[in-house]
Amino acid sequence: MRDSSSSTSGPPRARRRFGQHFLADARAAARIVEAAGASPREPVLEIGPGRGALTEPLVRAALRIAAVELDRDLAAWRRERYPQERLVLFERDVLELTLGEVPPALGFPAGTPLVVVGNLPYNISKPVAAMLVRQRGAVARAALMFQREVAERLTASPGTRAYGPLTVLVGRAYRVERLFDLPPSAFRPRPEVTSTVTRWERLPPQRLLEASEPALRACLAASFARRRQTLLNNLRAALPGGAEEARALLGRAGLDPGARAETVPPEAFVVLAEIWPLPGRS
């Protein structure tokens, strides 16, 4: 999704292929900006400024922000309304943006952590969440809107249907809190689903070490490959050593071969990742 504000010249229409549903609730926009804690002391990045419902209060709070926008018409429309001194615009896919580029573009020292704010398009919300995990070192905190179903996955507990790889990865990198829901009537055009605003705070780096992340992603993908299957069956299909190797790994990790992945707590997957047989790992 993207955001919305009125203009006499008329903003570009929402494009279905970009998954655009523009926020049209000024009170909700103010609550999101407040949750982000945007100020001139930190660099701020807005994902998908669209028609500007979040951009307006963000610029008031931070004085100058950066934004990333893929839609060329919306990017041009934004440039007409904000000088470079107030809005630094990256015209590209957010999934191709290196977050470390943003602070220097705003006049901050390289490596200064970002405050990220966005009303995310439904069709890229999970990839954006995964990107924020990969580039977590560049982020201090975030206030992000997702489809409610995705927000439930981000904050799910073991033993629930919403719990999965995204829950574990995001939860190792960030403390995620669901703040409030917004109904379809808060957007133009109206989506068919409810949206949820979440607040993210980056956790200490030792919670998800960079060197451990590939193994954690690999063992999660294998463990959740078929949700109704046991850990043993899923790992047997993923490992070259089949059932014998799977039993040995699960035994070393202290995991029940007959358990399903959705019942395993994140800490247990971290233990499994430490012994996961990645190529080149002895």
Phi and psi dihedrals of 93, rounded to 5? Answer: -70, 130
Write out pLDDT tens, residues 31-61: 999 999 999 999 999 999 988 999 999 999 9
Cβ atoms < 10 Å from Cβ of 9 = 7
Name which residue leads in pLDDT, 2 or 73.
Answer: 73
B/e letters for 215-242, b = 16+ CB within 10 Å, e = fewer, are bbbbbbebbbeeeebbbbbbbbebbeee
Compute the distance between CA of residue 150 and CA of residue 130 in angstroms, rounded to an integer: 12
Write out pLDDT tens, residues 175-192: 999 999 999 999 988 999
Compute the distance between CA of residue 181 and CA of residue 177 in angstroms, rounded to an integer: 12
Burial class (CB in 10 A: 0-12, 13-18, 19+), 125: buried
Write out pLDDT tens, residues 191-207: 999 999 999 999 999 99
Q: What is the model's pLDDT at position 2?
A: 40
Domain 2-206: give its CATH architecture: 3-Layer(aba) Sandwich (3.40)
Domain ranges for the chain = 2-206, 213-274
Q: What is the model's pLDDT at position 1?
A: 44
B/e letters for 265-277, b = 16+ CB within 10 Å, e = fewer, are ebebbbbbbeebe
CA 3 to chain CA centroid, nearest Å:
17
Q: What is the model's pLDDT at position 53?
A: 94
Whether pLDDT at 3 is above 50: no
pTM: 0.91
Topology at the third CATH level for domain 213-274 = Helicase, Ruva Protein; domain 3 (1.10.8)
Write out pLDDT tens, residues 94-129: 999 999 999 999 999 999 999 999 999 888 999 999
